Amino acid sequence: MEASMWFAFIVILVMSSCVQGQLKTGFYSSLCPRAEAIVRSTVEAHSNKDPTILAGLLRLHFHDCFVQGCDGSVLITGSSTEMSAPPNLGLRGFDVIDDAKSQLEPLCPGVVSCADILALAARDAVDLSDGPSWPVPTGRRDGRVSSASEVSNNLPSPLESVATHRKKFAAKGLDDNDLVTLVGGHTIGQTDCLFFRYRLYNFTATGNSDPTINPSFLSQLQALCPKDGDGSKRVALDKDSQTKFDVSFFKNVRDGNAVLESDQRLWGDAITRTIVQNYAGSIRGLLGLRFDIEFPKAMIKMSSVEVKTGTQGDTRKVCSKFN
């Protein structure tokens, strides 16, 4: 087991040094030696006040990468930017990125990009949730475009089928294993009743609930989200351990206890179901360890999607504004 774990770590190291573009691990080691430590301490300070911000940072990075690539375009404020698009209205963690940037800019002016701060913060968020850590390739430049109209066509929606998600992931160079593995990030975090309440009451033409929901879990969800209740009420995406990065999310999908429809649909597709089964496992800890290995590999792939490097893009002075 020790030898296999060592081999897996070597694979992650190799992946992190061979990502697309000109990203490389330790990009700031001489340019701004304290960059990664400052991002880490900032994430930790915010999570001490609000542990749920960790899941918010992971989701923020995901939403950034699927539109215009991992270029910090989701961080731009404005009436027609990505941030203003309906799927992004619940995003959190902007203040953490701004805080880290405000510390880094006086120390290393115009050096550390907002896109890199977000990628590093996502890694630290997983690590601080008792999940794996990994070397993050850095050297991203910040994008100069942020458009709300591009969000829905690129970002996967919880209402979409596995086939549609598969196409959206494939468009970013991500395969079925990446899809299931990255959705496994739902092992931490919450969602609003608004995004799944339709499953509980009027899912079918006859007005019944979604038949894929475990009956005992259905009653729990209905108690949390009454039919005419507050749609903004937050509910854990992983009913068993919402602040711990583990494989219980996959066990929930297997057992009909997924909150989002798109998460539960992973069990209805033959290919994604097999991957879920592998992660859920029947041997405690053994296959769970595999998710710890696969998640960093998938994150390294996703965080290198359509990155800007070299002379492309900018390095913003303030993450919420173009230079």
pLDDT, position 232: 93
What spatial distance separates the first Cα and last Cα of the chain, rounded to whole Å? Answer: 50
Please give the backbone phi and psi of residue 36, each rounded to the nearest 5 degrees, phi first: -65, -35
Q: Quickly state the pLDDT bin for 15 (edges 50, 70, 90).
A: low
pTM over 0.85: yes
Q: Is residue 4 predicted with pLDDT exceeding 90? A: no
pLDDT, position 282: 57
Written as one letter, the residue type at 211 is P
Distance between CA atoms of residues 160 and 27, nearest Å: 37
Q: Is residue 236 predicted with pLDDT exceeding 50? A: yes
Selection from 159, 178, 157 nearest residue 169 by Cα:
178
pLDDT, position 136: 98
Q: Is residue 284 predicted with pLDDT exceeding 80? A: no
Q: Is residue 250 predicted with pLDDT exceeding 60? A: yes
Q: Is residue 43 predicted with pLDDT exceeding 50? A: yes
Q: Is residue 279 predicted with pLDDT exceeding 70? A: yes
- 149-179 confidence digits (pLDDT tens): 999 999 999 999 999 999 999 999 999 999 9
pLDDT, position 18: 47
Any known ligand binding at 19? Answer: no
Q: Is residue 2 predicted with pLDDT exceeding 80? A: no
For 198-217, letters b (16+ CB in 10 Å) and e give ebbeebeeeeebbeebeeeb
Any known ligand binding at 82? Answer: yes
pLDDT, position 10: 55
Any known ligand binding at 73? Answer: yes
Q: Give me the half-sphere count of Cα atoms (radius 13 Å) on the Cβ side of residue 42.
A: 25
Contact 140, 319 (CB under 8 A): no
**Catalytic positions, written as ranges:** 63
Q: How many CB atoms lie within 10 A of CB 30?
A: 7
